Structure 1
Amino acid sequence: MSAQARVTADPQTAAASAVGLSKVYGEGDTRVIALNNVGVEFARGQFTAIMGPSGSGKSTLMHCMAGLDSITAGSAWIGDTELGRLNDKQLTRVRRDRIGFVFQSFNLLATLTALENITLPTAIAGRGPDRAWLDRVVATVGLADRLGHRPSQLSGGQQQRVACARALASKPEIIFADEPTGNLDSRSGSEILAFLRDCVRDLGQTVVMVTHDPVAASYADRVVFLADGHIVDDLRAPTAATVLDRMRRLDTQSRTN
């Protein structure tokens, strides 16, 4: 039985899931199948890494499941809400209130302080933050003495911690992180990964992270592997060594097929 067949999706119990999800770009000679009939679920309170070679569809999968990109066929769900059935206003509300995002490039506003960046999503929504939750998030990321600083006054690692705190500020159902350590040195990257791990363990969050780094993936509870738009493997309790071994095996298989 293939890994694709083993992976099922249950929108009633998962924080996010995909059912028969396909994404096609272009037409005719330029047609590219980025995702092909993908079924996967991300359990609540779990840290999942998505890995695969360049062009495998890992970032496309995350963007489709986070409502950042449309899908060609199948369905994407946040909890029991099917994203494809929502209008633009409803989809914006789901992304704002139920999903947190962390990107490689931090995406902070240079004119705002760390605290103002963290609370920006709730301010845009026209409501104040939950102060008790905000204090807990700030303590977890270790930013209490940096809240009045602007991004230019912070290191790369500190900026990414601000971005992580911003993703958590609205107490989302799930956080999607796209190569969150890609612009950081190894020490800062390790701090961010440990923080994401703590978010799951101590704050009960659900994190889905796209990465190409076996060491980063080893912080997760589970690693889902993609190749050519398909889920081809699923590894639980990963270590850097087991992830690297699996990646090498998949690379060998792709070159012999």
Structure 2
Amino acid sequence: MTATEPIAGVGARGELAAVATGISKIYGTGETRVLALDDVSVGFRRAEYTAIMGPSGSGKSTLMHCMAGLDSISTGSVRLGDVELSSLDDKKLTLLRREKIGFVFQAFNLLPTLTALENITLPMDIAGVKPDQAWLDHVIETVDLRDRLKHRPSELSGGQQQRVACARALASRPEIIFADEPTGNLDSRSGAEVLGFLRASVRESGQTIVMVTHDPNAASYADRVLFLADGRIVDEMLDPTSDLVLERMKRFDATRTT
């Protein structure tokens, strides 16, 4: 497979939620020039859970940020549905992120003065959009926090706080959710709660999720894993298990030490 050859998801079965074609990302110039992404093409199908893995500095977070419109690309094309991101000005890009994209990050990013429910509905409140109550109830049941909705973040466990953050990302029914190390600050039990919720949102609600992680166990919850190295997609694994992912990651370590 060449760097410019689209991998599974582009031209494959299923409708695409997002697609990148030949994208590169360069930071700096001259001696400080860094090629973070090198001619990457990839697609993400609707109702699919994709994990992105690779060594530190491989470009995995850069890829996610470019796909989500949080960072610009140097060359190539990124489309969300039928919208080309480079065609949007800052105002339209902000509106698209608000309406079409959900975000879950390692830091929960909850407002401490708001209740769990207020944190969940905050993006819609800011946008002046009334929640779909039936969908909101479904999301709340899925995260299993019905009896904690009036609690503030300080009164919730780490796993509960991250589930609130996940619910906030889902509440507006975005076309795609990007999650950057969503279990990085959690213990194993809380992490399993959040990963189980994300998995359920794909299977039961048809959500599309792209997750950056360094954890083979977290990656095993996904439908497929993309492996990056030096800014390129170098491998793909379908129906991953934690053992298979761990073995693949060990090969990265072996390559870097030889």
- TM-score (norm: length of structure 1): 0.96
- Structure 1 CA distance, aligned partners of 2:11 and 2:26? 24
Q: Which stretch of structure 1 is more off in the superposition, 80-89 or 47-56?
A: 80-89
- Structure 1 CA distance, aligned partners of 2:97 and 2:22? 22
- Structure 1 CA distance, aligned partners of 2:3 and 2:160? 38
Q: Which stretch of structure 1 is more off in the superposition, 6-15 or 75-84?
A: 6-15
Instruction: Give unmatched runs, 5+ long, in structure 2.
Output: none
**Residue equivalent to 2:108:** 106
Counterpart selection for 2:41 from 39, 42, 60 = 39
CA RMSD of aligned residues (A): 1.5
1:5 has 2:1 as partner: no
Q: How does 1:140-179 map to 2 (within 5 A)?
A: 140-179=142-181
**Residue equivalent to 1:76:** 78
The answer to whether the 8 Å contact 1:3/1:233 transfers is: no
The answer to whether the 8 Å contact 1:21/1:74 transfers is: yes
Q: 2:170 is aligned with what amino acid?
A: L
The answer to whether the 8 Å contact 1:64/1:71 transfers is: yes
- Structure 2 CA distance, aligned partners of 1:36 and 1:255? 22
**Residue equivalent to 2:182:** 180
Instruction: Give unmatched runs, 5+ long, in structure 1.
Output: none
The answer to whether the 8 Å contact 1:221/1:238 transfers is: yes
Deviation at residue 5 of structure 1 after TM alignment: 2.8
**Residue equivalent to 2:122:** 120
1:247 has 2:249 as partner: yes
SS in 2 for 1:5: coil
Deviation at residue 254 of structure 1 after TM alignment: 3.9
- Structure 2 CA distance, aligned partners of 1:144 and 1:220? 26
Deviation at residue 3 of structure 1 after TM alignment: 7.0
The answer to whether the 8 Å contact 1:75/1:82 transfers is: yes
Q: Percent identity?
A: 68
Structure 1 residues 110 and 165: alpha-carbon distance in aligned structure 2, compared to 1, 3 A threshold: same
Counterpart selection for 2:202 from 200, 203, 211 = 200
Q: How does 1:77-92 map to 2 (within 5 A)?
A: 77-92=79-94
Q: 1:157 is aligned with what amino acid?
A: G
Deviation at residue 2 of structure 1 after TM alignment: 4.3
The answer to whether the 8 Å contact 1:109/1:117 transfers is: yes
1:59 has 2:61 as partner: yes
- Structure 1 CA distance, aligned partners of 2:3 and 2:223? 17
Q: 2:40 is aligned with what amino acid?
A: V
Counterpart selection for 1:223 from 222, 225, 230 = 225
- TM-score (norm: length of structure 2): 0.96
The answer to whether the 8 Å contact 1:4/1:233 transfers is: no
The answer to whether the 8 Å contact 1:178/1:211 transfers is: yes
Deviation at residue 91 of structure 1 after TM alignment: 0.5
